[in-house]
C-alpha cells in the first residue's frame, strides 16, 4: 500500500526550524524588507514588532510546555500554507500572522489528567499574553509617573498588542484557542475573555 502523503501546502517543518521560520515570517509580515535592516531594531525596535514576536513565541511555548508537563506530545510546527497566508497580507493594512501552531496529541484513554492537561495547555497561551499586557501596563504607569513619557508610550503599545493577541485568540471560533476553552469550560472562557477585553480597553484609554 502506498504511504499517504500530505499535499504541498500542508507540509510541516521540524520544530527547531519552525521557530526560526515562524519568527522570520512574523517580522517580514510586519516590517517587509525592513525586517532585514539593522535600523529596524536599533536603537529602539517598534513596540508592535517586539510585542507580536515576544507574545507569539511565549504563547506557543506555554502551549507546548504545559502540555508536555502532563505527558502529552506537543511541538510547534510551521506549515507552508500558514507562511503563504501570512506573507500575502504584507501589503495590506491588516495582518494575518499565522505561520504555525502548537500541535498537542493525546494518546490512549482521555482520562481526567489528560483532559486537565489539554485545558491548561490551551489556556496557557492567551494567559501569558494577558500577563505580559498587565506587566507592561504597570511598568508604563510607573514610567509615566517618573516622567519617562516615551517609555510609557512604548510600554502601552506593547501592552495593547498582547491584550489584542489574547482577545483574538480567545474568540470562540475554530481553530482559535477560544473555541477549545469554550468547549472545555464555558465559565473559564468567559472570565478570560472579559479580562482580555478589560486589558485591551485600559491600554487603549491610556
Q: How far is CA 196 from CA 8, 50, 145, 166, in A?
A: 36, 19, 25, 6
- Report whether 154 contacts 45 (CB < 8 A): no
Q: Tell me the C-alpha distance between 165 and 161, whole Å.
A: 6
- 32: alpha, beta or left, given left = phi > 0 and alpha = psi -120 to 50? left
pTM recorded for the entire structure: 0.93
Q: Tell me the C-alpha distance between 74 and 130, whole Å.
A: 22
> pLDDT tier at 42 (50, 70, 90 boundaries)?
confident
pLDDT tens-digit map of 57-96: 999 999 999 999 999 999 999 989 999 999 999 999 889 9
> pLDDT tier at 1 (50, 70, 90 boundaries)?
very low
- Report whether 202 contacts 137 (CB < 8 A): yes
DSSP letter at 2 equals P
Q: Is the pLDDT of residue 3 over 70?
A: no
Amino acid at each position: 500500500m502506498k504511504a499517504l502523503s500530505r499535499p504541498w501546502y500542508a507540509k510541516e517543518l521540524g520544530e527547531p526550524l519552525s521557530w526560526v521560520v515562524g519568527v522570520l515570517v512574523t517580522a517580514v509580515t510586519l516590517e517587509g524588507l525592513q525586517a532585514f535592516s539593522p535600523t529596524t531594531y536599533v536603537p529602539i525596535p517598534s513596540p508592535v514588532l517586539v510585542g507580536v514576536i515576544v507574545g507569539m513565541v511565549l504563547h506557543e511555548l506555554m502551549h507546548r510546555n504545559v502540555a508536555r508537563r502532563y505527558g502529552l506530545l506537543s511541538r510547534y510546527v510551521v506549515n507552508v500554507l500558514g507562511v503563504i497566508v501570512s506573507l500575502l497580507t504584507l501589503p495590506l493594512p491588516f495582518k494575518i500572522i499565522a505561520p504555525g501552531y502548537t500541535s498537542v496529541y493525546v494518546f490512549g484513554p482521555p482520562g481526567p489528567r489528560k483532559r486537565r492537561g489539554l485545558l491548561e495547555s490551551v489556556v496557557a497561551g492567551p494567559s501569558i499574553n494577558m500577563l505580559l499586557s498587565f506587566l507592561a501596563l504597570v511598568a508604563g504607569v510607573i514610567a509615566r509617573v517618573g516622567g519617562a513619557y516615551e517609555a510609557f508610550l512604548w510600554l502601552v503599545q506593547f501592552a495593547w498588542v498582547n491584550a489584542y493577541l489574547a482577545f483574538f485568540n480567545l474568540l470562540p471560533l475554530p481553530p482559535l484557542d477560544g473555541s477549545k476553552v469554550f468547549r472545555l469550560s464555558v465559565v473559564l472562557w468567559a472570565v478570560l475573555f472579559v479580562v482580555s477585553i478589560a486589558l485591551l480597553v485600559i491600554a487603549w484609554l491610556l
